[in-house]
Amino acid sequence: MFIETRQLTKKFGGLVAVNEVDFTIEKGKINAIIGPNGAGKSTFFNLVSGSYTPSSGQVFYKGKDITKLPPNKIATLGVARTFQTTNLFEQSTVLDNVIVGHRLRTRSNLLDAVLRTKRYKLEEKKCRDKAMEVLDFVELTHVRGELAVNISQEEKKRVAFALALATDPEVVFLDEPTAGINPGETEGLAALMEKMVKRGITVCLIEHKMKMIMKLADKIMVLNYGEKIAEGTSEEIMNNQAVIEAYLGGDASA
């Protein structure tokens, strides 16, 4: 098992946002989580990446229980994520935005920074090189000197990918990576996700664009009102009665 959740539950007061979800994320595949608005997809992400602590249930990563770990520890283990809204530092260049992504693999501290020690110089270069590498990977080398405020929405999404990739992850969680961009650009990002998988990085994403998901994902989980209602390949999902009902509303027999 690569990543596995067991009876994962999150309650906000009386509201059960995620209810006893068992799910496994398969290594080297594109895993997708879909579901109507408010189905608990983002909450599920937050639980796995450590931003929320589950009310009950567990999360395992490569056989290790990571349920209680804070997000930064989980990131160090090799789990990266992006957010629905892209939080970039707009007054800074694209390259500068990405450099900090490799910080977790460095050890230099304040004293190194003030004294400009050898270790500091080495690690500064290491982070810079890593940033260059991931920007090249997401095909943004040409805008690396631009300020983040001046690049397009699609490019911002790519920067967010790059930032996640700079942490040297084994799995990347992408929260609606193609929200708010046009179909042509969506295909570009889908190709990028496939490229990530080819590199050996497992992808898990939340998406609303059905056509794209059905084509892209190797494995899909459907959530509705916090509960898993279906899991499987795209054909299985497309023909699943419960899924059709959830999306089309109740009576789908017509």
Among residues 64, 103, 118, 215, which is the contact residue for other proteins, using CB under 8 A? 103
Give me the helices (H) in the chain, please.
41-49, 71-77, 94-99, 110-115, 118-137, 153-165, 183-198, 210-216, 234-238, 241-248
Q: Is 123 in the site for other proteins (CB under 8 A)?
A: yes
By CB under 8 A, which span of 114-122, 211-219, 221-229, 244-252 interacts with other proteins?
114-122
Q: 131 in helix, strand or coil?
A: helix
Q: 239 in helix, strand or coil?
A: coil
From residue 222 to residue 251, what is the string marking binding to other proteins with x (rule CB under 8 A)? ------------------------------
From residue 129 to residue 158, what is the string marking binding to other proteins with x (rule CB under 8 A)? ---------------xx-x--x--------
**Beta sheet of 64-65, edge-to-edge order:** 15-25, 3-12, 56-61, 64-65
Nearer to other proteins, 101 or 243 (CB): 101
Q: Which residues contact 60 (CB under 8 A, 6 or more apart)?
A: 1, 3, 4, 5, 6, 66
Residue 239: Cβ-neighbour burial (10 angstroms; 0-12, 13-18, 19+)? exposed
Q: 177 in helix, strand or coil?
A: coil
From residue 162 to residue 181, what is the string marking binding to other proteins with x (rule CB under 8 A)? -xx-xx--------------
CB of 121 to other proteins, least distance (A): 10
- Report the site for other proteins in 41-70 (rule: CB under 8 A): 49, 51, 70
Amino acid letter for position 158: R
CB of 112 to other proteins, least distance (A): 8
Among residues 9, 27, 60, 100, which is the contact residue for other proteins, using CB under 8 A? 100
Q: Residues 224, 59, 196, 75: what is their CA dihedral angle, to the nearest 10 degrees?
A: 120
Among residues 9, 26, 104, 247, which is the contact residue for other proteins, using CB under 8 A? 104
- Chain residues binding other proteins by CB under 8 A are 49, 51, 70-72, 75-76, 80-81, 83, 87-89, 91-93, 95-96, 99-101, 103-104, 106, 108-110, 112-114, 116, 120, 123-124, 127, 144-145, 147, 150, 163-164, 166-167
